[in-house]
A and B are shown apart, each in its own frame.
Chain A
Amino acid sequence: MTALPPSIVDAAKLLRARKTSSLELTEAALSRAHADRFNTWLLLADDHARAQAKVADERLNRGDAPLLCGIPWACKDIIGTKGIETTAASRILKGYVPPYSATVVERLDAEGAVMVGKTNLDEFAMGSSNENSAFGPVKNPWCVERVPGGSSGGSAVAVAADEVLFALGTDTGGSIRQPAALSGVAGMKPTYGRVSRYGVVAFASSLDQVGPFTHTVEDAAIVCEALFGKDPHDATTMPLAREDLRRDLAKGVKGLRIGVPKEFFIEGMEPGVEKAVRDALRELERQGANIVEVSLSLTDHGLAVYYIIQPAEASSNLARYDGVRYGLRAEGPDLLETYRRTRGQGFGAEVKRRMILGTYALSAGYYDAYYVKAQKVRTLIKAEFDAAFAKCDAIVTPTSPTVAFKIGQKVNDPLAMYLNDVFTLPGNIAGLPGISIPCGLSEGLPVGLQIMANSFAEATMFRVAAAYERATPHQARPERKAA
């Protein structure tokens, strides 16, 4: 077998019909990953993957295996993996080998899933293009001169280029949904509090969530079922019962109220993106959904709130990289100078910019004007979403205002780069679940449709996404398109 099946569901059927084995799927994934041309991987764990595949095949033969058993997947290299180097794509963590695995990795291990390797990202997940990796940018498989989006660009591309059947990413302001949109796959950020962050390199702790990249909506729901749930190691996980997230997938959208925020169709949105999203809304309406206009008047201010809170939290979280207990140490004449040199040499430009911005926003004299002000506007943004969800069951928007842009195009203009996430970061500010699914092409490049739901209403979000997916042929793969 040289190609992988088109989805987790298809692979699981083949495994149960004995038409393939986990080892065969894993060899196919490894062989495609080793031939990767997009700088997707920071590490391939061949031996680890083959060992997991053999155990998975034994379990499949016994006949009591969960759906993800034997399925090859890719792990964003900001998620800790016991005994396997984890760098967050930063020079400061190069060589770091975690002594324990993140809870999300342990949960997938328990399902019998097969981790193939660690994917490239923007350093510490700070970026929207994957150009901020200390180990080189990831390229978009639809057009290698363009970015795949970020920060989870490697995870998006590992799925888009058919090198694995799913991948994990993290999303702080859009880092799963935006690269999913730009790379033409499904990418989902759960409600804040759904998924444990234990063992994940912390970025902005009031915003970060872990979630999946997949080819289909159903696959995303399957992975979420394995990830969701309380973890005693993470006090921010909600104590909710296990939930069947696929229960509403086939129900369709007839009678559902779909909110469209009037402020999201902004100046600067590419016409091809707007057209694809308007067409998607018409399709949902054709299926019987009621389209209702909602107002999220603070959308513009969301970017400002995000670019205060996120760097402020990051500047605190990244204080731990001091060259004492792990990672790089650049020794100076005294300890203070060792800290300064270690961090000066270990962090890349974008990380330094955000450390300075965050430290500034938290420093004496600016704390109230910036940090507390942003937290107050955060209250108002959450309240606007609450009011919107009183009028609708889901909110549908573009995921990103543009399709994939050229490598290098925005690298010296941080503000232009930050605008990539203007439609996704409100979901992080308010803690809401959101999924990006393919909704056609503009100028030959994928456009993403974002579907958001109220907190803990992932089943409704999946229901809308699945209804749209069934009616459209947008699951094309880049290589198949080129063929």
Chain B
Amino acid sequence: MPIDRQTVVHVADLARIALTDEEVERFTGQLSVVLDAVARLGEVDTSTIAPTASVLPLQDVQREDEPRPGLTTDQALANAPRGGRDGEFFRVQEVLEER
């Protein structure tokens, strides 16, 4: 199933990625080729097959819940982007409007 321009724009938006017009154009063509290739999976009969999320023979791994030291506030904030720290907090733009 070929992917169209509008779908690429919509999916890029879901992925929170701003694309230039040139990128939308290029990716539409390239992703159509890739999606055509992966669509061949439809040839494989999987009507009675369960999906595999992980091949690891482990489940419900648990450990003792013991307190231990973590990062200090300064360590955790040390990589904040330029303008992204405000005292002991990461600074982001408002997401709620005042009423």
Report the separation of the CA atoms of residues A324 and B82 in the bound assembly, to the nearest whole angstrom: 10
Q: Which of A308, A334, A370, A373 contacts B93 (CB 8 A)?
A: A334
Which B residue's beta carbon lies closest to that of A376?
Answer: B46
> Contacts A238-B58, A355-B17, A379-B52; is A414 near B11 (CB within 8 Å)?
no
User: Which residue, of B7, B17, B95, has the highest number of chain A Cβ atoms within 10 A?
Assistant: B17
Query: Within 8 Å of chain A (Cβ to Cβ): is B79?
Result: yes
Known: A236-B56, A370-B38. A352 touches B81 (CB 8 A): no
Say yes or no for B83: interface residue by CB 8 A criterion: yes
Overall SS of chain A's interface: helix
Interface residues of B in 20-65 (CB under 8 A from A): 20, 23, 26-27, 30-31, 33-35, 37-44, 46, 49-58, 61, 63
Q: Is the CB of B92 within 8 A of A324?
A: yes
Range for the number of chain A residues in contact with chain B: 35 or more
Does A301 contact B40, Cβ atoms closer than 8 Å? yes
A336-B18 Cα distance, complex, nearest whole Å: 10
Residues of B within 8 Å of A336, CB to CB, are 16
Contact of A357 among B31, B49, B51 (CB under 8 A): B31
> Is A442 located at the chain interface by the 8 A CB criterion?
no
Contact in complex: A328, B19 (CB < 8 Å): no
C-alpha gap A344/B20 in the complex (Å): 9
List A contacts of B55 (CB < 8 A).
192, 206, 382, 429-431, 455
Residue in contact with A339 in the complex, picked from B16, B19, B30, CB distance below 8 Å: B16
CB contact between A340 and one of B16, B56, B80 (< 8 Å): that residue: B16
Using known A-B contacts A303-B37, A335-B95, A431-B55, determine if residue A96 contacts B79 with beta carbons closer than 8 Å: yes
Asked whether B37 lies within 8 Å of A304 as measured between CB atoms, the reply is yes
Whether B51 contacts A324 by the Cβ 8 Å rule is no
For B53, give its contact among A100, A193, A356, A375 (CB under 8 Å). A375
A307 interface hit (Cβ, 8 Å): yes
Q: How far is the CA of A236 from the CA of B54 in the complex (A)?
A: 10
- Check if A331 sits within 8 Å of B83, measured CB to CB: yes
Q: How far, in angstroms, from A353 to B12 measured CA to CA in the complex?
A: 9
Nearest CB in chain B to that of A338: its residue: B93
* Contact across chains for B16 and A307 when beta carbons are under 8 A apart: no
Q: For A341, what are the chain B residues with a Cβ–Cβ distance below 8 Å?
A: 18
Known A-B contacts A323-B84, A327-B79, A415-B34; A373 and B42 likewise in contact (beta carbons under 8 Å): yes
| Interface members, chain A 350-400 (any B CB < 8 Å) | 352-353, 355-360, 363, 370, 372-380, 382
Q: Is B61 a contact partner of A353 (Cβ separation < 8 A)? A: no
CA distance A380 to B50 in the complex (A): 9
Of all chain B residues, the one with the shortest Cβ separation from A98 is B79
- Which of A97, A337, A382 is the one whose CB lies under 8 Å from B52? A382
B6 within 8 A of A: no
CA distance A431 to B56 in the complex (A): 8
Inside 8 A of A359's CB, which chain B residues have their CB?
Answer: 11-12, 14-15
Closest to A96 in B: B79
Which listed residue (B15, B27, B41, B95) contacts A373, Cβ 8 A? Answer: B41
Check B93 against A335 for contact (C-beta < 8 Å): yes
Question: Contact at A375–B52, with CB atoms within 8 Å?
Answer: yes
Known contacts A235-B61, A334-B93, A356-B31; A305 and B15 CB within 8 A of each other: no
B-contacting residues, A190-247, CB 8 Å: 192-193, 206, 232, 235-236, 238
Q: Which residue of B lies closest to A330 (CB)?
A: B18
Which of B15, B18, B26 has the most chain A CB atoms closer than 10 A to its own CB? B15
Within the assembled complex, what's the spacing in Å between the Cα atoms of A381 and B14? 31
**Interchain CB contact (< 8 A) of B27 among A326, A334, A352, A377:** A352
> How near does chain A come to B56, taking the closest CB pair, in angstroms?
5
In the complex where A301-B41, A377-B46, A380-B49 touch, is A328 in contact with B27 (Cβ < 8 A)? no
A250 proximal to B (CB < 8 A):
no
> Quick check: B34 and A378 within 8 Å, CB to CB?
no
Q: List 6 A-B contacts (CB under 8 A).
A: A100-B71, A304-B41, A325-B84, A329-B82, A335-B93, A343-B16
Top-4 shortest CB links A-B = A344-B18, A375-B51, A329-B81, A431-B55
